[in-house]
Amino acid sequence: MRAAAVQLNSTDDKERNLATAESLIREAAEAGADLVVLPEKFNLLGTPAAMRAGAESPDGPTIRRVGGLARDLGLWIVAGSIVEAMEGDEKLRNTSVLLDPDGEIAAIYRKIHMFDVEVGGVTYRESDTEAPGDRIVLADAGGLSLGLAICYDLRFPEVFRILAVQGARTIALPSAFTLHTGKDHWEVLVRARAIENQVFMIAAGQIGKHPPDHESYGRSMIVDPWGITLAVAPDAECFIAADLDLAAQERMREKLPSLANRKPEAYRWPEPVAAPR
């Protein structure tokens, strides 16, 4: 399977974002991609007010448009994430949608971990406007076991280990990693999740400045289960692509069977305690 990650500089101009994403998806398809992953909040990235005004449902115009592309091009597409409006709920969701080559929704994942931090002098409080999902999602993408995660989830290895134990061969990670954290942590964390779980990581990121005062690191990556970077994006809107050698992954898992060598009976979670500050 050939996979691609699309890197965008999304803003509060939804039509511009969608047009750019569509162009890059088509280029990736021409380059032989079977699976394309878009970044976090690919269709709209702006102020809290703009995000609320532009929120959609998974059967809204953004996903219908991307589904049409998937159908026209015969692709699997991880529609990065959108801000989802939930009927009867004041809080939004950060929602990733997997579309099959018929343009139908194959899986939906809602980001579990809210980005409530202060980095580089900027405060992020996702939980002010968004509520977390509560379910880890593994999907079947045409015979490929594909795990779904979003951005800040990357710092929580439990999610990725559970996906690997459930059978994930590849994990899609739409992101908008901050410039401040990305320069020190992005590559290390993406490669670590690949190595420890012996999976391919398709990490599609945002790049550049977004309203009101945020800036994303970019450097979208495709990493193999040995931790080797197969492709990395330059500092521009673009796509990257790489072949996923699933047979080589199987051989590696046989020779270095770290997942098979786990000892679940010895792993005991501590009693619940308050998170350290």
Which residues are the active-site residues?
Answer: 40, 111, 151
Closest of 89, 19, 22, 95 to residue 57, by C-alpha: 95
User: How many Cα atoms are found within 13 Å in the side-chain-facing hemisphere of 124?
Assistant: 22
The answer to whether 174 touches 96, Cβ cutoff 8 Å, is yes
d(CA 221, CA 202): 6
Q: Tell me how far apart the alpha carbons of residues 217 and 228 are, in angstroms, rounded to a whole number.
A: 20
- The overall longest dimension of the chain from CA atoms, in Å, is 52
CA–CA dist 94, 107 (Å, integer): 14
Residue 216 in tokens = 């994303």
Pair of tokens at residue 4:
């691609």
Task: Give the type of residue at 112.
Answer: I
Residue 85 CA to residue 75 CA, distance in Å, equals 26
Q: Which two tokens stand for residue 182?
A: 């990305």
78 neighbors 174 (Cβ within 8 angstroms): yes
Q: Is the dihedral of CA 86, 89, 90, 94 positive or negative?
A: negative
Q: In angstroms, rounded to a whole number, what is the distance separating the alpha carbons of residues 250 and 166?
A: 15
